Amino acid sequence: MNVISRRRFLKISGVTAGVAAAGAGVLKGSQLLSSSDVMKSQGMQRIPTFCDICFWKCGAIATVKDGKLWKIEGNPEDPLSRGRLCPRGTGGIGAHFDPDRLRAPLIRRNDRGKEEWVEVTWDEALDFIAVKMQAIKKSYGPESIAFFSHGIGGNFFKHTLKAFGTPNISAPSFAQCRGPRDVGFRLTFGEDVSSPERTDISNAQCLVLMGSHLGENMHNTQVQEFAEGVGKGATIIVVDPRFSVAASKAKHYLPIKPGTDLALLLAWMNVIVKEELYDKEYVKRYGFGFEQFAASLAEYTPAWAYVETGIEPERIVETAREMARFKPSTLVHPGRHVTWYGDDTQRSRAIALLNALLGSWGRKGGFYTPASMDVPAYPYPDYPKPVRGKVDNPDHRYPFAHETITNGIREATITGKPYPVKGWFVYATNLLHALPNEEETIHAIQNLDLLVVIDVIPSEIAGWADVVLPESVYLERHDDLNVEWFREPFIGLRQPVVESPHDQKPNWWMAKRLAEKLGLGHFYPWKTIEEYFEQRLSAGGYSLETLKKQGIIRGAKQPIYFDEGVPAEFPTPSGKIEFFSLQLAQAGFDPVPRYTRPPAGPPGSFRLLYGRAPVHSFSRTQSNRILSDMMDENEVWINADIVRRYGLKDGEYIRLKNQDNVISNRIKVKATERIRPECVYMVHGFGHTAKGLKHPFMKGASDAQLLTRYSVDPLMGGTGMNVNFVTIEPEATHG
Amino acid sequence: MARFGMVIDTAKCVGCMDCVVACKTENNVPEGFNRDWITTEVHGTFPTVQMEIRSERCNQCATPPCVYSCPTGASHVHDVGGIVLVTKEECIGCKACIASCPYDARFIHPEGYADKCTFCIHRVEAGMDPACVAVCPTHCMHFGDLDDPNSPVSKLLASRKHHSLMPEAGTQPSIFYLT
Amino acid sequence: MQELSTTRNNHLIDPSLHVWGWEIPVYLFIGGLVAGIMIISGYFVLKGQYKKNVFSCFHLPHISLALLSLGMLALFLDLEHKRYVWRLYTTFQVTSPMSWGAWILVLVYPALFLNTLIRIPEPFRNRIKLFDRLSERINQHPFAIKNIGVMNMLLGTLLGMYTGVLLSSFGARPLWNSAMLWMLFLVSGLSSAAAFVHLIARDTFERELLAKADNGFLTLELFVFGGFISGLLTSTRVHQEAAMTILTGSYAPGFWVFVIGLGILIPLLIQLLAVNHKVRHSPVAPIMVIAGGLLLRIILVAAGQDTHWTLASFPGN
Ligand SMILES: Nc1nc2c(c(=O)[nH]1)N[C@H]1C(S)=C(S)[C@@H](COP(=O)(O)OP(=O)(O)OC[C@H]3O[C@@H](n4cnc5c(=O)[nH]c(N)nc54)[C@H](O)[C@@H]3O)O[C@H]1N2
Ligand SMILES: Nc1nc2c(c(=O)[nH]1)N[C@H]1C(S)=C(S)[C@@H](COP(=O)(O)OP(=O)(O)OC[C@H]3O[C@@H](n4cnc5c(=O)[nH]c(N)nc54)[C@H](O)[C@@H]3O)O[C@H]1N2
Ligand code: SF4
Ligand code: SF4
Ligand code: SF4
Ligand code: SF4
Ligand code: SF4
Ligand SMILES: [Mo]
C-alpha cells in the first residue's frame, strides 16, 4: 500500500529567523539575567530548561536556592507555556525529591516479576546488556531487539538501537493514543494533526470537544487557549458521556451514549449538507468526491442518530447550525487519546470531514500550519539497513499504520511471527499501564532473553526487567534539542538544574556507553552532549550560549493560515481533501465513514471509561509527593441514582469486576450527577502494584488492569480500550 | 489605604489545582497541608447540571474573627493592604483562630504555629502577583487593590456579577468570585 | 441533588475540625468546677462559716489551687507552640476571650491564695513566716475576710462565665453561637462544684445544704439547656442543623444518655429522694453530676467543631 506520508509543514531556514529571534530574545534574556544577578546575591539561581512531566515540553525556569531546588515556573519566552506551567509541571520538582526513586543499576536475581535485585555498577549492567544483545543478534539477528520508548528522552537510545540494526522502534503514543486521529486526518487532508496539535483554539469562535476533556487533560497551551476562548465567549459544544470540566463551560452539553460519536458526526454532516450550510467555495475548490460523500449521508438523519446517541434530533440540528454559523472559525477538535472503540480511524476521519465541510483546515480558528526552525540533524554515519522489515505489521495487515504498532511488537513476541523478538528495551513507558491486557504483555515478556527497562522509579514494567537502569530525572540532565513544530517556531533546551542525588545517569550517557560496548562507538563522534548541541546549532546558525541562557530561541512568526499565504496543498493521492477516499475503497474499507453500533456489555454491567486528572500524568506521577498530596488515589464515578439503587455510599470502598472476572483493587465510590448511568469512569494511572513504589502502592484502582479486552482498529492497528465492562463488588467480600 | 483582594473568574477556572501546587512550592507548605484548595459545587440532575469550581484560601477578611480571637496578637492585620498575617514567634498554638475561622482556612504548621495564606506578601511587596495568581494557566485569578476604583480587580467587580463566600458569617471577605 | 467537594485535606481540619481533643474540655470543665467552688467557698466565707471549721472554707481554697493548676496544665498540653506560652502575658487583647481568660487567671490565683490564708492548711502552717503573719493580719480584720469572700465569688463568676464565653465567641461554630452558653457553663460549674463539695465534705449540715443547692443548680441547668437549644432551633437553618448534631445527630446518644440522663435527671432524682430522706446520701449522685459536667464539655467541644457555616450556601439541602 502506498501511503503518502510527506511531512509538509513549513520549515524556516535558520539564520535570518535566528537573528530576528535573537533581536527579540536578547532583551528579555538579559532581563532574565539581571534578575538572576540579584537572585544570585540571595543564594538563588534561575536556570531555564523544559518540562518532562508530559510530552508537551513546556519551557520552564527552575529556581535553586542555596543549592537546593526550590521551584519551577513557566518561561515567559516559551510559546508553549506562555510563562505558566500546568499543575504537573509546577509540581515537577517532586520528581527530584521522590524518595521512591531508583538509585543504582539493578540486575534481576530471582524469577521475572519477583522484583528482587542485585545492585551493580554501570559497567557491570551495560556489559551484561551488551553481551546479551550480541547473543540475540547472533542467534536471531539485530531486528529481534525491539524498542519501546515515549518522549524526547528516548532519542539517543533510538540512535544506538538503530545503529545496532533494528527497525522495531515504537511508542504507545501511536497505537494507544493519537494514531487513529493522525491516520484519519492523513486520509482526508494528507497531513497529521501532530503534537502539539495544530488546533487554533484561541481563535475559534465555536469549539467542539468530543471527549477531549480539556481542563482535566492539562496539555498546557490547549488549556490556556480553551480558557481564552471561554473568556471571549466562544460557543462551546461538548460531547461526552460524562459532565466533564469542559462540559461545565459549554453552551451545549451533549450527554452522548458511549461509543456512538460517529453517529452524531454523520448526523451533523447530514444536516450541514442537507441545509447547504457548508463552506461551498472551500469544498468546491479543495474537495474531492463530495457528491458521493453527500449521497452516502442521506440515511444518517438526526432522528436516526437520536436512537443511537440518545441526543434529541432538535439538539443535533441546533448544534449543527451553530457550528455552521461560525464557519470557518469552527474547530471540531480532533481529540488526542482516541483509541476508544476500534472504529477510531473512521470516527477521526468523520471529524476531519466535518472540519472540511466547515472549511476550518488552514483557516483562522481552525487548523493552522505549523512551522519549525531548521536545525540539521547531527551528521552521523548511515545506519545499517535491517535485513528484515518491521515485525509489528506483517504484510501490512493494518495498511494505514504509518508508525510502529506497540501491540504488534507484543504479538510478534508472543507468536514468534513473522520472526522472533528476543530482546526489549523499554524507555520511559510503563507498558503494564499503557498497553491493554496485562496478561499478554507478561506473556510476551516471558518469551524474551533480555528485558532492559530505563526508568526513574521502580515502575510495574521495571519490576519485570532483567536489568533496570536508573535515569536522572529531567531536572538533572540534558536531553536532545526540542526543535518544535508549532504556531511559531522555536528551539528549546533541556539542561540540568540540580545534580542527581544518587548513581542515576542521563539517557544520552547510557546510550553512548552502551554503543561503545557494542562496538558502535563511531556512531557517537561527540564526547559530551554539549558538543553534540554545538554541532547541530551552529549548523543552523544558532548559539548554544544564548540557548543555555534563555532556554528558548524563537524564530520569526510565519504565515500559518491559507489567507496569510500558506499554500493550500493536500498531499493526498488526489491532491485534494478527500471526502471520498479511493485508497480506502481500494484497501477494502469504507471510503466514507459508516456507522456500526458498538456491542453492548453483559446485562447489569457498566462500561468502563477512564481519563485524566489535572494533577497526574498517566502512571508516572503517583509517587511524586507534591502531586500525590493533591490527589492520592482515584475514585470510581458512578451515577448518583445507581449508587442509591445499589445501596452504596459516597466515599465507600468497592471493587470492580470486569467481564473476564478480573477484580480491581479497592476504590472509592464517587456518587455523582456528572455521568451517564450506563458507564463508570476512573482516572488512569492509579492502583500501583510494584513493591518499590512505596507511597502509591495499592492506592486506588488501575483501569489498565481491567482492560483485558481491546478492539483493534482494522486500518491502523490501534487498540480501542473503551470496550470493557465492569460490575460492582462490595469491598467486604474481598477485604 | 490599599486593601488587597482577589477576584477569581469561575467561568474560566478549570479546577486544575495549579494554584494549590504553586503555593506548595513557593511557600514550602508541608506535605499533608494546603493553604489553598479547590471547591466544586454541583447542582442539578444529569444531564442538566451546573458546576462552579472555586480556588479558595483565607479570605483576608476585613473583619477577621481570627485576629479578634487571638490572645497574643500573633494574628494581626498587616499595615500593607490589610493582609491578615501570623507572627510565628508570637503564636502559642492555642488554635482559637482556627476555631474562629468560618472558612477553615488555617491549620497548625508541623512546627507548631498557626499558618495560612499570606497573600504571598513576600512577592506582593516585591511587586509580583501571588504565586497562585501568577501560575494560573487559565488566567482566571486577579490580584489587586480593592480600594482603588481603577484597579483591574475593582473594574472586574464593577462589570461582572460576583459573590463572596458565606457573607452571612459577617467577616467581609476580600476574595470575590465572578460567575 | 447537590454535590460539594473540596480538595483540602488538612490535618486536624478536614473532613471536620478537630483541633481540640480532650485537653480543652478538661480545662473548661476544671475551670468551671473551680469557678463553682470559688463561688461556694466565697459564699461560705462571706456568711462567716469560716469560724465554724466548715469544710468548704477550710479545704476548698487549696484544693482549688491544685485543681486549677491541673486545668492550666491541660491547657498548656493543648498548646502547639509551647515554648512561646509566655506571649500570653506580654499583651492584653481586648477582643480575645482567651486573653481575658489568661488575665482572669492572674487574678484568680491570688484570690484563692488569700482565701487559703484565712486558714492555712495544717501541713503548711508555721512554715513560711510571711504567710503566717499575713494570715494573722487577715484574721484580725473580719472586713478583709468578707472582701476575700466577695472577691472569690466575683472572680469565680467571671471564671465560670469565661469558660462559656470562650466557646460562644467563635461565631464560626454555630453550635456554640449562643448567648446562653456562658450561663450554661456557669450553672453546670456550680452544680459540679456543689456535687464536689457534697462528695468530700464531712459535715452533715454542709452536705445537706449542698445537695439541696445542687438540686437547684441542676434544675436551673435544665432550664438553661432548654433556652440554649430553643435559641438555636429558632435561629437560622445553620444553627438548627447545629442543634441537631446533639439532638438527633451523631452526638445525640452521648448527649441524651450521659449529659442529660445520667448527668442531670437521675442524680437530681436521687438527691431529691436523699434530701427528703427517702434514701441515704451516697457518693453516686455527685459523681454522676461531676462526670456529666465533664462530658457536657467534651461533647459540646467535639460537636461544636463539627458544625459549620458551609450549609448556608446550600439552600434546601
Ligand atoms: N493532566 C493530564 N493531562 C494530560 C495527560 C495526563 O496524563 N495528565 N496526558 C496527555 C495525553 S498523552 C493525552 S493523549 C490526552 C488525553 O486526553 P483527551 O484526548 O482529552 O481525552 P481521552 O483520554 O481520550 O478521553 C477522556 C474523556 O473522554 C470521555 N469519553 C469516554 N468515552 C467517550 C465516548 O464514547 N464519546 C465521547 N464523546 N467521549 C467519551 C471521557 O468521559 C473523558 O471525559 O491528555 C493529555 N493531557
Ligand atoms: N489503561 C490506559 N492505558 C493507556 C491510557 C489510558 O488512559 N488508560 N493512555 C494512553 C495514552 S494517551 C498514552 S500517551 C500512553 C502513555 O503511556 P506511557 O508513556 O507509558 O505513560 P506512563 O504510564 O506514565 O509510563 C511512563 C513511564 O516512564 C517513566 N519515566 C518518567 N520519567 C522518566 C524519565 O525521565 N526517564 C525515564 N527513563 N523514565 C521515566 C515512569 O516512571 C513510567 O514508568 O498510555 C496509553 N495507555
Ligand atoms: S503540559 Fe504540564 S506536564 Fe506537560 S510539559 Fe507542560 S507543564 Fe509539563
Ligand atoms: S490554577 Fe487557575 S484554573 Fe487552575 S484551579 Fe487554580 S484558579 Fe482554577
Ligand atoms: S478567612 Fe479565616 S483566617 Fe482568613 S482572615 Fe478570614 S477569618 Fe481569618
Ligand atoms: S494559634 Fe497562634 S495565631 Fe492562632 S489564636 Fe492562638 S496564638 Fe493566635
Ligand atoms: S496568595 Fe500565596 S499564600 Fe495565598 S494561596 Fe496564593 S500562593 Fe498560597
Ligand atoms: Mo496520549
Statement: B4-178 belongs to CATH 3.30.70.20: yes
Same domain, C65 and C195: no
Closest CA to A73 of A101, A36, A41: A36
Say if residue A472 is exposed, middle or buried (CB neighbours under 10 Å; 0-12, 13-18, 19+).
Answer: buried
Q: Tell me if B54 sits within 8 A of B8, measured CB to CB.
A: yes
Closest CA to A336 of A148, A150, A196: A196
Nearest CB partner across the interface for C7, out of A630, A671, A672: A630
- The last residue of one of the domains, among C170, C192, C224, is C170
Task: Count Cβ neighbours within 10 Å for each residue of C53-64 and write b for 16 or more, e otherwise.
Answer: ebbbbbbbbbbb
Query: Which ligand sits nearest to residue A92's alpha carbon?
Result: 3
Q: pLDDT band at residue A3, thresholds of 50, 70 and 90?
A: very low
Predicted pLDDT of residue C317: 36
Residue nearest to atom 8 of ligand 3 (CA): A89
Same domain, A365 and A396: no
**Range of C197's domain?**
171-317
Same domain, C176 and C166: no
Q: Alpha-carbon distance A213 to A241, whole Å?
A: 11
Predicted pLDDT of residue A14: 40
Q: Alpha-carbon distance C123 to C303, whole Å?
A: 44
Question: How close C11 comes to chain A (CA, Å)?
Answer: 12
Q: DSSP state, A361?
A: B
**Range of A706's domain?**
606-734
Q: Alpha-carbon distance A614 to A90, whole Å?
A: 12
Predicted pLDDT of residue A23: 35
Find the distance separating the first CA and the last CA of chain B, reported in whole Å.
28
Sheet holding C2-6, edge to edge: B48-57, B36-45, C2-6
Q: pLDDT band at residue C312, thresholds of 50, 70 and 90?
A: low
Phi, psi angles (nearest 5°) of residue A67: 80, -5
Q: Over the stretch B8-25, which tens digit does the pLDDT of each residue have?
A: 999 999 999 999 999 999
Q: Tell me if A514 sits within 8 A of A534, measured CB to CB.
A: no
Q: pLDDT band at residue A734, thresholds of 50, 70 and 90?
A: low
pLDDT at A174 over 80: yes
Same domain, C165 and C176: no
Give the amino acid at C38: M
* Cis-peptide, bond into residue A196, ω within 30° of zero: yes
- Asked if the Cβ–Cβ distance from A673 to B44 is below 8 Å, we say yes
Nearest CB partner across the interface for B37, out of C8, C79, C97: C8
Q: Provide the grid cell at C16.
A: 471536620
Closest CA to C255 of C283, C232, C225: C225
Q: Over the stretch C136-157, which tens digit does the pLDDT of each residue have?
A: 999 899 899 999 999 999 999 9
Find the distance separating the first CA and the last CA of chain C, reported in whole Å.
8
Average pLDDT over residues C196-225: 90
Same domain, C205 and C138: no
Same domain, A234 and A111: no
Same domain, C113 and C251: no
- The last residue of one of the domains, among C122, C144, C170, is C170
Q: Alpha-carbon distance A456 to A469, whole Å?
A: 8
> Residue ranges of the domains in chain B?
4-178
Give the residue, out of B21, B118, B129, with the most ligand 7 atoms within 8 A of its beta carbon, to mutate for a pocket test: B118
What is the count of residue pairs from A and B with beta carbons less than 8 Å apart? 121
Same domain, C91 and C232: no
Same domain, A204 and A350: yes
- Tell me the average pLDDT of chain A: 94
Q: Over the stretch B93-144, which tens digit does the pLDDT of each residue have?
A: 999 999 999 999 999 999 999 999 999 999 999 999 999 999 999 999 999 9
> pLDDT > 70: what percent of chain A?
94
Q: Over the stretch A474-532, which tens digit does the pLDDT of each residue have?
A: 999 999 999 999 999 999 999 999 999 999 999 999 999 999 999 999 999 999 999 99
Dihedral Cα A437, A443, A444, A448, nearest 10 deg: 150
- Tell me the average pLDDT of chain C: 92
Q: pLDDT band at residue A28, thresholds of 50, 70 and 90?
A: very low
Same domain, A458 and A315: no
Residues 6+ apart with CB under 8 A from C223: none
Phi, psi angles (nearest 5°) of residue A671: -80, 120
Task: Count Cβ neighbours within 10 Å for each residue of A242-255 and write b for 16 or more, e otherwise.
Answer: bbbbbbbbbebbbb
Same domain, C100 and C191: no
CA angle A260, A704, A682 (to 5 degrees): 60
Q: Over the stretch A401-419, which tens digit does the pLDDT of each residue have?
A: 999 999 999 999 999 999 9
Query: Which ligand sits nearest to residue B17's alpha carbon?
Result: 4
Q: A64 in a domain, yes or no? A: no
Q: Over the stretch A616-655, which tens digit does the pLDDT of each residue have?
A: 999 999 999 999 999 999 999 999 999 999 999 999 999 9
Q: DSSP state, C173?
A: S
Residues of chain A with C-beta less than 8 angstroms from the C-beta of C1:
640, 673
Q: A514 in a domain, yes or no? A: yes
Q: How many domains does chain A contain in total?
A: 3
CATH number (domain holding residue A689)? 2.40.40.20
How far, in Å, from the CA of A429 to the mean position of ligand 2? 4
Question: Reduced to 3 states, what is the DSSP secondary structure of residue C249?
Answer: coil
Helix H, strand E, coil C: the string for C177-215 is: CCCCHHHHHHHHHHHHHHHHHHHHCCCHHHHHHHHHHHH
Q: Alpha-carbon distance A666 to A671, whole Å?
A: 16
Q: pLDDT band at residue A219, thresholds of 50, 70 and 90?
A: very high
Same domain, A300 and A361: yes
C7 and chain A: CB distance < 8 Å anywhere? yes
Predicted pLDDT of residue A42: 72
How far from the centroid of its chain's Cα atoms is residue A538's Cα? 31
Same domain, A398 and A473: yes
Q: Alpha-carbon distance C81 to A593, whole Å?
A: 69
- Asked if the Cβ–Cβ distance from C313 to B166 is below 8 Å, we say yes
Residues 6+ apart with CB under 8 A from C59: C121, C200
Predicted pLDDT of residue A26: 34
Q: Over the stretch C59-81, which tens digit does the pLDDT of each residue have?
A: 889 899 999 999 999 999 999 99
pLDDT at A6 over 70: no
Q: Alpha-carbon distance C261 to C292, whole Å?
A: 9
DSSP H or E run through A221: helix A220-232
Q: Over the stretch A178-217, which tens digit does the pLDDT of each residue have?
A: 999 999 999 999 999 999 999 999 999 999 999 999 999 9
Same domain, A243 and A316: yes
Query: Which ligand sits nearest to residue A608's alpha carbon?
Result: 1
Give the amino acid at A106: L
- Asked if the Cβ–Cβ distance from A672 to C7 is below 8 Å, we say no
- Asked if the Cβ–Cβ distance from A255 to B135 is below 8 Å, we say no
* H-type alpha helices, A359-490: 406-415, 431-434, 438-446, 460-463
Residue nearest to atom 6 of ligand 3 (CA): A58
pTM for the model: 0.94
Find the distance separating the first CA and the last CA of chain A, reported in whole Å.
54
Q: Over the stretch A224-239, which tens digit does the pLDDT of each residue have?
A: 999 999 999 999 999 9
Same domain, C11 and C53: yes
Average pLDDT over residues A358-365: 98
Predicted pLDDT of residue A1: 34
Helix H, strand E, coil C: the string for chain B is: CCCEEEEEECCCCCCCCHHHHHHHHHHCCCCCCCCEEEEEEEEEECCEEEEEEEEEECCCCCCCHHHHHCCCCCEEECCCCCCEEECCCCCCCCCHHHHHCCCCCCEECCCCCEECCCCCHHHHCCCCCCHHHHHCCCCCEEEEECCCCCCHHHHHHHHCCEECCCHHHCCCCCEEEEC
Q: Alpha-carbon distance A398 to A406, whole Å?
A: 13
Same domain, C143 and C181: no
Question: How close C311 comes to chain A (CA, Å)?
Answer: 18
Q: How many domains does chain C contain in total?
A: 2
pLDDT at A25 over 70: no
Same domain, A248 and A168: no
Same domain, A320 and A365: yes
Q: Alpha-carbon distance B179 to A311, whole Å?
A: 28
Q: How far is CA C257 from CA C29, C233, C265, C270, C299, in A?
A: 19, 21, 10, 16, 12
Closest residue of B to C10, CA-based?
B33
Predicted pLDDT of residue A133: 98
Q: Provide the grid cell at A26.
A: 536578547
Q: Tell me if B63 sits within 8 A of B171, measured CB to CB.
A: yes
Task: Count Cβ neighbours within 10 Å for each residue of A581-603 and write b for 16 or more, e otherwise.
Answer: bebbeebebbbbbebeebeebee
Question: Which range has the worst mean pLDDT, A424-433, C36-45, C114-123?
Answer: C114-123
How far from the centroid of its chain's Cα atoms is residue B24's Cα? 14
Ligand 2 pocket: which residues have CB below 6 Å? A 52, 150, 153, 172-173, 176-177, 337, 427-430, 433-434, 454-457, 459, 471, 473-474, 610, 617-620, 684, 703-704, 707, 721
Phi, psi angles (nearest 5°) of residue A608: -90, 115
Same domain, C183 and C140: no
Predicted pLDDT of residue A303: 98
Q: Cell match 468551671: residue?
A: C32
Same domain, C188 and C287: yes
Same domain, C125 and C141: yes
Nearest CB partner across the interface for A245, out of B15, B20, B21: B15
- Asked if the Cβ–Cβ distance from A630 to C3 is below 8 Å, we say no
- The last residue of one of the domains, among C170, C188, C219, is C170
Residues of chain C with C-beta less than 8 angstroms from the C-beta of A630:
7
CATH number (domain holding residue A234)? 3.40.228.10
Q: Alpha-carbon distance A555 to A541, whole Å?
A: 12
Same domain, A463 and A581: no
pLDDT at A38 over 90: no
